[in-house]
Structures are given as structure tokens and as C-alpha cells.
Amino acid sequence: MINKEPEINVDRAYSEHLDRLGHSRSKELIKAGYDVWYGKVLPKDKNATIYDYGCGHGDFLEYLSLKGYKNISGGDINSECVRIASERVHFPIQLIVKTLGFKEINKDKYDCINIKDVIEHIDKEYLVEFLLDIKETLKPEGFIIVSCPQICGFTSLFTLYDDFTHKTIFTENSLRYVLNSAGYGRIELIKPVIPFSFNPLKIISRGLRLLWFQTIKVIYCLERPGERMPSIPGDRISCMAWKR
């Protein structure tokens, strides 16, 4: 009997990892979840050209479709994710062969580029160059939306190590630093908008969330007096950055 080497499919393994993290959820959950961060910041023009860089299983593209956007597309370096996303949404989705060089075929093309859960996977020595490359694909008044893990949350270290491909996580200051280094103009943090609900469990959850955030601020005041505290405590940070 010949012992065959086990089949290794890194792309499929990572796609299954995304499933375990809760991607590819129902349309109702997708819309509710993304509205918290994106509901107030997306372009008003439904014909705006929007690209989802690192689209995964197409969650955000489906969200854009539910919001009525028509000129949208995406891409991912994972071939299995591209396959799944292409079956899920009927918009152009490309396999990104190399992280750098995106501007070579997309210069001055997009009004908005979403970069969610991407930069924490990129080696630090290439991150500024990657953001520079992305900047060149924006129209003159275009902007990017960056969303990534940040360190000042109770579960931040778990988030860092729960994905084997994570290289680092950020703070508000370190995220601003890399965006400034890449030459982006105005940079604005996105504050999550959590809709009020009369559901008792959601009211309790909201209260505990606010209490926890205040506790984090007190800890920072005690440990780092006089220094700038996180504007948005928690394990995630999002911001908008304009080309100029």
C-alpha cells in the first residue's frame, strides 16, 4: 500500500475558519451588524464606485447590495473565498494575485474602498506601501474605510491569536500613524451607532457595554495619567481616510 501525502488546501482551511467566526450569516444579521459601523459613512450616491478589498465570503458586498448600491466589486487573495463570494453576489469579484500592485490596473477608479480585517494580516514593513498603493486607486475626492482589531478591549489578545494569520493589532494612534505615513489627508474615526431597543436583554447589554468602556477609561487614567486615552474603547476600531 502506498501512503499518500494528505491534501493541503490552505485557502479552503481559511475559508472554513471564516465560517467558524460567523461569516456568511443571514441577510438580517448582516445588515444590522454592518449598519452599526457603516450606516452613516457610506457614499450618498448609490452609483458610487465601491470596492471591497479582502471581501472574504462577500458579507459586505451583500450588505452594499441590500443598501441599494449598484456599482460595486471586490476581491480577495483567497481563491476559495472568491469562489464562495462569486456564488453569493452577482458583482465582479477578482482573485488578488499580489498584495502590492493594485494601482497598476485601477488608478483613480474608486469613490470608496472598504478595507475590513485586512491590515492586521500584512507585515509591518509592507503596510505603508500597501496603503500608498490603495490610495492611488481612489478618485481625487475618494476615501477608504479601514476597520481592524484594536488592543484596548477585554478580548483583544484573544482576537489577535484566534486567527493564525494575524500579524498585529492597532491603537488609534498607530492606525493614524500608518495612514499619515501613506499620505492620506483627513482622517476621522467612526463611532459605532447602536440603535436603541426596548428588548430588556439588549438594554442590559447596552448598559454593561457603557459600564465596561468607562472602566477601561478609568484604568487608562490611572496607568497613563496625562496621556491620550482611546476615543472608542473596545476590541475594534474603524476610520475614514481621504486621498487628500
pLDDT in tens, 178-207: 999 999 999 999 999 887 778 888 888 888
CB 91 within 8 A of CB 61: yes
Q: How far apart are CA 193 and CA 35, in angstroms?
A: 8
Q: How far apart are CA 57 and CA 235, in angstroms?
A: 22
CB 95 within 8 A of CB 77: yes
Query: Residue 161 in 3-state DSSP?
Result: helix
**φ, ψ for residue 10, nearest 5 deg:** -65, -40
CB 156 within 8 A of CB 149: yes
Q: What is the pLDDT of residue 23?
A: 62
127-166 confidence digits (pLDDT tens): 999 999 999 999 999 999 999 999 988 788 889 999 999 9
C-alpha cell read off for 156: 483583544
Domain residue extents for the chain: 10-197+233-242
Q: How far apart are CA 173 and CA 199, in angstroms?
A: 36
Query: Per CATH, which fold does 10-197+233-242 belong to?
Result: Rossmann fold (3.40.50)
Q: What is the pLDDT of residue 18?
A: 83
* Surface-to-core class of residue 238, CB atoms within 10 Å of its CB (0-12 exposed, 13-18 middle, 19+ buried): buried
Q: What is the pLDDT of residue 45?
A: 97
221-243 confidence digits (pLDDT tens): 898 888 877 888 788 999 999 99
**φ, ψ for residue 125, nearest 5 deg:** -70, -15
pLDDT at 116 over 70: yes
8-33 confidence digits (pLDDT tens): 588 998 888 888 876 656 777 788 88
CB 124 within 8 A of CB 167: yes
pLDDT at 2 over 50: no
CB 177 within 8 A of CB 131: no
Pick the more confident residue, 212 or 57.
Answer: 57
Q: How far apart are CA 53 and CA 96, in angstroms?
A: 9
Q: How far apart are CA 22 and CA 108, in angstroms?
A: 34
CB 146 within 8 A of CB 208: no
